[in-house]
Chains A and B, each alone.
Chain A
Amino acid sequence: MNATLSHLIAEYQKWTATIKIAWSKQLAYKLNFILLVIGPVLVFFFIRYNLWSAIYKIEGITTLQGYNFEQMLAYQVWVMIVGFLGLGYNGMNLAEDIRLGRISAYLIYPFGFWQFHACGFLAFESIQFLVSALTLGAVAAMHWVQLSPLPLIQGLVFCFCVALFWFQINFMIGILAFWLEETWVLRVMMVTLTQFFSGALIPLELFPDWLRQILNFLPFPYLTWVPVKVFMGQYTGDLTQAFGLILLWAGLAFACSSLLWQRGLKAYTAAGM
């Protein structure tokens, strides 16, 4: 009993210490961090707001596939929030770490490599949560979005599931470096496809019907469109099923990355050792 408890305490201490280190690493270059946050906000204010204003106001359109201007603006705000919370960029240097043999050091630590990256992910998520809260507070003050407790909580939990999916996908793509020279291309491809097919650029209601039918069988709508609709309190589908599906995709990504990690270690040559 005592041994189990002390093991749990030791694990807890390892996780908290690693999360703290990850915080300080991510906030070390403050201006760099601010620029990373400013980017999506800049895109929202200067592109999305202006583009949809031009379409609705200049053209005198009142509704577009069920969206009036205020609803479209709210949709775009929630896309930005889902982007903050869901889309991480962990594992970006994983390929280089594997190629140059830097992961050798992690393999002898009494803390797993996946766990180390999971701590980085949790640290990143907590920072992004604060950034999202501040952004949301500002846009809510301007009455661009309406905040209701239940959709907000459901949306936040869904976003965490989306973030888990992205964490696993990024980790999986990163460890492909055991066999590939560069893996960032795969990551950018995945982000590009997701941006388009998840409704992050334009709502899925504007897509042709045949394409929407196909997308129902893929994870993309669950990465932006579904959480946005949940936040807006307009998701008409089965929410339990949506949670189940995003977790299923995250689980699949986890299983694939675990398998790849085990195989990859056998192929690892530990360059520089």
Chain B
Amino acid sequence: MFNPLFKRIGQRIGHYAGIYKEFVSNCFAAAMTYRFHFVMLIIMDLLFYLSILASVDFLFAHVNKIGSWGRTEFMFFMAFMIAIEHLHMTFVSENFWEFSYDIRTGRLDFILLKPVGALFVIFFRSMRPGTLINGFFPWYYLIHFGSQLHLGPLQWLALPFLVLLGLTLLTSIEILLSMSMFWIVESMGINFLRMQLQQVSRWPDFVYQYFAQKFFSFIVPVLLVGSAPVKFLLDSSQWPGLVWVAVVLLICWSGIGFFWRKGLASYESASS
């Protein structure tokens, strides 16, 4: 009974993997055409990562602790967030800028006509191959500060999965937020707000006072992106945070489905 179901799921995953492979090869071809842009993207991201780490490092030259964390824990958290941002910038971020353009110009029509999930095409069609190289940066610091924190084998094993979990949560929240583009039309404001929320998530939750902490953990739960996984890595008794991440993911995906349908109903199809 289960065999046909598994077979169907396997075929579907294979189908989407094939499509994604085409997206990736297209992006590589485009990236290789504009080599200056390719190199500049790498430098831009590295400068950004360095500025984040240097800010915290300079701060810890004057204070011993922030909350319950010292320099090592804080730098480990920052490296964890940079690892998520690196994957986000490489695989997802460009697509958010294109989505509103699709809505505004009616180009979304052509995506809707394709025999493949439209959300998949919209949010995963573009990537930045150049910035893949920058992956060494956060992982070097994760390993460096993780070793200083004496992480155990299980924690090291869990680390990449937790980075992916954080990325999934951040992307899901942002996709849900981007559904508002159906009604706002001009994307600059919503993309700007999305980036400000990324900034909020870049600091551990204990930095925030009561109201802000609750708001960004339960209403717009961006603080869970890094805080829940890192707290679990540093202290396994903090596992309830990961359960809350799973619940939030389910809520986000339901919300995306709901607002996607509502958005399509109000979509005016500018080109038609």
Contact = CB atoms under 8 A, between A and B. Distances in A.
* Range class of the A interface residue count: 35 or more
B63 A192 contact: no
Interface string B56-75: 00110111111100000000
Interface string B168-191: 000000000000000011111110
Contacts of B185: 29, 32
Interface string A171-195: 0000000001110011011001101
B232 interface: no
B247 interface: no
Main secondary structure of the interface of A (DSSP, over half): helix
Interface size class of chain B, counting residues whose CB lies under 8 Å from the partner chain: 35 or more
B189 A35 contact: yes
A208 B55 CA distance: 11
Given A43-B196, A206-B58, A206-B61, A181 B34 contact: yes
Given A192-B47, A202-B55, A47 B37 contact: no
A31 B216 CA distance: 22
Contact of A206 (B37, B41, B48, B59): B59
B2 interface: no
A208 B58 contact: yes
A247 B93 CA distance: 36
Contacts of B200: 42-43, 46-47
Contacts of A58: 66-67
Nearest to A53: B209
A34 B189 contact: yes
Interface stretch (A59-67, A127-135, A137-145, A223-231): A59-67
B206 A54 contact: yes
A58 B66 CA distance: 8
Interface string A195-219: 1100001100011100000000000
Interface of A: 28-29, 31-36, 38-40, 42-43, 45-47, 50-51, 53-55, 58-59, 61, 64-65, 180-182, 185-186, 188-189, 192-193, 195-196, 201-202, 206-208
Interface of B: 33-34, 36-37, 40-41, 43-44, 47-48, 51, 54-55, 58-59, 61-67, 184-190, 192-193, 195-196, 199-200, 203, 206-209, 212, 216
9 contacts: A31-B189, A39-B195, A47-B200, A59-B65, A181-B34, A192-B51, A195-B51, A206-B61, A208-B61
